Amino acid sequence: MAPDELNHAKRADMVGAGHLLGERRTVGQTVQAGGPVEESLNAAEAPFRGIEFHPEVKVDPLANAKDQGVGWIPTKDWEPFENTAIYPPAFYLPAAIGIDFGKFFGVTVLSTLSLARALCALGSIAVGYAALRIAGRAGPLLFFALTLPMTLMLFSAVTQDGLMLATTALGCAFLSKPIEDGRELTRKELIGASACLLLVGMAKPPYVLFTLLLLLVKTERPALKWQAFGGVLGLQLVWHAVVTALIQAPIVRPDAKPDMAGQIHFLMSHPAALISVPVQTGIHAGPEYSAQMIGVLGWLDTLLPKPYYVAAYVLLVVGCCLTWTSKPTHWAWVLVIMGAVKLAIFGALYLSYTPVGAAQVDGVQGRYFLPVLLVLPLMLVSAKAATPSRVRTLATAAVLLFPVVSLFLTERALTTRYY
């Protein structure tokens, strides 16, 4: 289980069938976003309903055995899934290939989803490996972020998030290595960084702000930097405009009715809320977000031991120290961009998901901040080389060995949670 994985699987199923864009329909008085998907997906998921958010509920072996035989039935039905219908197709391609393969060879739905997850993981690992190959001194910090339990859970789920995180790391690596080398970005590096930031910004609107990172680096031809920035930003804005005009529908909540226009009117009438709402959200939910960014698994209901989270943040500081130099080049601007992305995440969910006038933002999850963590090396790196030392070697070894501890604790936590 991963957050909203069924809806992500439906989006991947659409992509595999050639429906690159979601659809919007009006059903009665309700506007919905979704598309035609296989009914078999719902049938395969049914025996596992009721497990999410209920740690005391375990997998029923009899239901699981019965579910293993659910096959693909060539019957499609239009279904709403507002939260994933708006996403672009690029990051769903590995899962779509796996689903198409399973359908073609008559594999059961659960086995097909296992294959789709494996392809998502392999694709994410391949892109992450490419990032680490070129990252230079930013490598240990990127490695730490890419091997967190939350990151690896997203790698191995049918979702766009895993490949999006790996692509963010690759874009950061393209930008950080020339800064470390004290040279200008080559044309190929600029194209690579631009492509990565384009895809990440198309995935979710707040991440459009990462495009500003292109302006911080020097290029062989200054005009190319501005052309790349303008092109990437323009394509992202066009995509989100198309989504808003043709696909996006209001998100339905069973316990409240979000109203974007009403929320904007509230903020205009109470401008102090622009400060108080993020502050109150951070105070009350900050520890929860911090734990989720490291790893709260399943449907955000599977915790790891408390000391693990403390150790993870200690290793995060160690990774920062391995990347940091005495005079980082762009630390102030990168810090501003990272802060702007965080505020944009809060703002987007306050407008689209939170009841009008609420004192805190609803719907924020710690995993939304993982891309911010992955661009952190750009704030720390500079052309000044770090001095090799035994302490640095030991610190690097600690970062590299930490995933072994994560693997053991994650396996234990998931086994205890579900079985």
Predicted confidence (pLDDT) per residue in 305-364, tens digit: 999 999 999 999 999 988 887 777 788 999 999 999 999 999 999 999 999 999 999 999
> Is residue 38 helix, strand or coil?
strand
CB contact set of 93 (below 8 Å; sequence gap of 6+):
15, 123
What band does 169 get if pLDDT is binned at 50, 70 and 90? very high
CB-based contacts of 286-290 (< 8 A; 24+ apart in sequence): 288/366, 289/364, 289/365, 289/366, 289/369, 290/366
The confidence score (pLDDT) of residue 351 equals 93
Amino acid at the residue 265: H
Percent of the chain at pLDDT exceeding 90: 73
CB contact set of 223 (below 8 Å; sequence gap of 6+):
none
Instruction: Tell me if 281 sits within 8 A of 360, measured CB to CB.
Output: yes
Is residue 187 pLDDT above 80, yes or no? yes
Write out the two tokens for 183.
């040279």
Query: How many of the other CB atoms lie within 10 Å of CB of 72?
Result: 22
> Is residue 297 helix, strand or coil?
strand
Pick the closest to residue 2 from 233, 159, 188 (CA basis). 159
Q: State the chain's mean pLDDT as an integer.
A: 92
| Residue corresponding to tokens 């920062």 | 320
Instruction: Tell me if 132 sits within 8 A of 139, measured CB to CB.
Output: yes
> Is residue 219 helix, strand or coil?
strand
Q: What is the pTM of this model?
A: 0.94
Instruction: Tell me if 364 sits within 8 A of 281, measured CB to CB.
Output: yes
The confidence score (pLDDT) of residue 127 equals 98
Residue 363 dihedral angles phi and psi, to the nearest 5°: 90, -5
Q: Report angle CA 317, 320, 323 to the nearest 5 degrees.
A: 155
The confidence score (pLDDT) of residue 417 equals 93
Is residue 384 pLDDT above 90, yes or no? no
Sign of CA dihedral 413, 415, 416, 419: positive
SS (H, E, C) 189-206: HHHHHHHHHHHHHHHCHH
pLDDT, tens digit, for every residue of 38-50? 889 988 888 888 8
Total residues found in the chain within this entry: 419
Is residue 216 pLDDT above 80, yes or no? yes
Average pLDDT over residues 182-195: 93
The confidence score (pLDDT) of residue 14 equals 94
Sorted by where each begins, the domain ranges of the chain are 5-248+257-418
Strand order in the sheet with 30-38: 23-27, 30-38, 76-80
The confidence score (pLDDT) of residue 372 equals 97
Is residue 170 pLDDT above 90, yes or no? yes
Query: How many of the other CB atoms lie within 10 Å of CB of 122?
Result: 13
The confidence score (pLDDT) of residue 64 equals 64
DSSP state of 271: T
The confidence score (pLDDT) of residue 102 equals 94
Average pLDDT over residues 134-163: 95
CB contact set of 270 (below 8 Å; sequence gap of 6+):
357
pLDDT, tens digit, for every residue of 51-100? 888 888 998 776 666 666 788 888 888 999 988 999 999 999 999 999 99
The confidence score (pLDDT) of residue 387 equals 66
The confidence score (pLDDT) of residue 389 equals 78
What band does 268 get if pLDDT is binned at 50, 70 and 90? very high
Is residue 182 pLDDT above 90, yes or no? no
